[in-house]
Amino acid sequence: MERITKVLIDEEKIAKRVAELGAQIEKDYEGKEPIVVAILKGSIIFYGDLVRKIKLPIRFDTMAVSSYGSGMSSSGNVKIKKDMSHDICDKDVLIIEDIIDSGNTMKSLTALLEHRGAKSIRVCAFLDKPSRRQTDFEADYIGYSIPDEFVVGYGLDYDEKYRNLPYIGVLELS
Ligand code: IMP
Ligand code: MG
């Protein structure tokens, strides 16, 4: 069985950092109307908290993707399980992701959205595990950089469970 061995980021720290990210995004996108895309399902909770801290005329969209990340391919490959509904040609697109691990998913997805003609594409990830990177992808906005530990909660899952935990916890398998 698996168990949570420690709380890595508590509710208070999450709220503080989300407010900071929202303020930064609001400033950077002043005068713009970005399409803000939630990557399902992991970013749902972060997305809901973050968009309420961005006082701009944003538009919502969602996508579900999965990567066949391979160290062999520099671009990786992304499978679109559910596509967004907006035409993003000439639009500013802000992708909201739960965590950047190998970087393969976001590297491929941003390349695809660029190909669709977006005016700009930025990625905001709540968590980042830089030590796990397999490509040169870096997000534009990061909540917290964390060590190489498997984490759950605040949208992140293990076998589809733990997404509803209000904090980020370290999960250990035994
Ligand atoms: P990558 O950057 O292409 O390797 O993919 C990142 C995805 O892997 C995230 O969107 C998560 O779905 C999943 N993931 C990576 N690390 C963790 C973790 O520690 N807990 C839960 N999911 C994770
Ligand atoms: Mg994910």
Ligand 1 site, residue 105, Cβ cutoff 6 A: yes
Give me the pLDDT at residue 67, please. 74
Distance (Å) of CA 2 to CA 36, 39, 79, 98: 34, 26, 29, 21
Atom of ligand 1 minimally distant from the CA of 132: 4
Condensed to tens digits (0 to 9), the pLDDT of residues 15-65 reads: 999 999 999 999 999 999 999 999 999 999 999 999 999 999 999 999 999
How far is the centre of ligand 1, averaged over its atoms, from the C-alpha of 124 (Å)?
Answer: 14
DSSP string, 19-87: HHHHHHHHHHTTT--PEEEEEETTTHHHHHHHHTT--S--EEEEEEEEE---TT-SS--EEEEE--SS-
Give me the pLDDT at residue 73, please. 42
Give me the pLDDT at residue 74, please. 40
Q: By the 8 A CB rule, do 122 and 140 touch? A: yes
Overall average pLDDT of the 140-145 stretch: 98
φ, ψ for residue 52 (rounded to 5)? -75, -5
Ligand 1 site, residue 69, Cβ cutoff 6 A: yes
Atom of ligand 1 minimally distant from the CA of 157: 21
Q: Is 101 a catalytic residue?
A: yes
The region that residue 127 occupies, defined by phi over 0 for left and psi between -120 and 50 for alpha, beta otherwise, is beta
Burial class (CB in 10 A: 0-12, 13-18, 19+), 78: buried
Catalytic, out of 28, 101, 140, 159: 101
Q: Residue 98 corresponds to which amino acid?
A: D
Ligand 1 site, residue 139, Cβ cutoff 6 A: no
Give me the pLDDT at residue 72, please. 41
| CATH no. for 11-148 | 3.40.50.2020
Residue 119, pLDDT above cutoff 90: yes
Q: d(Cα 40, Cα 118) in Å, to the nearest integer?
A: 20
| Nearest ligand to the CA atom of 101 | 1
Give me the pLDDT at residue 71, please. 41
Pairing of strands 2-9, 168-173: antiparallel
Give me the pLDDT at residue 77, please. 75
Give kind and range of the element (H or E) at residue 98: strand 92-100
DSSP assignment letter at 161: B
Condensed to tens digits (0 to 9), the pLDDT of residues 61-115 reads: 999 998 764 444 445 578 899 999 999 999 999 999 999 999 999 999 999 999 9
How far is the centre of ligand 1, averaged over its atoms, from the C-alpha of 57 (Å)?
Answer: 30
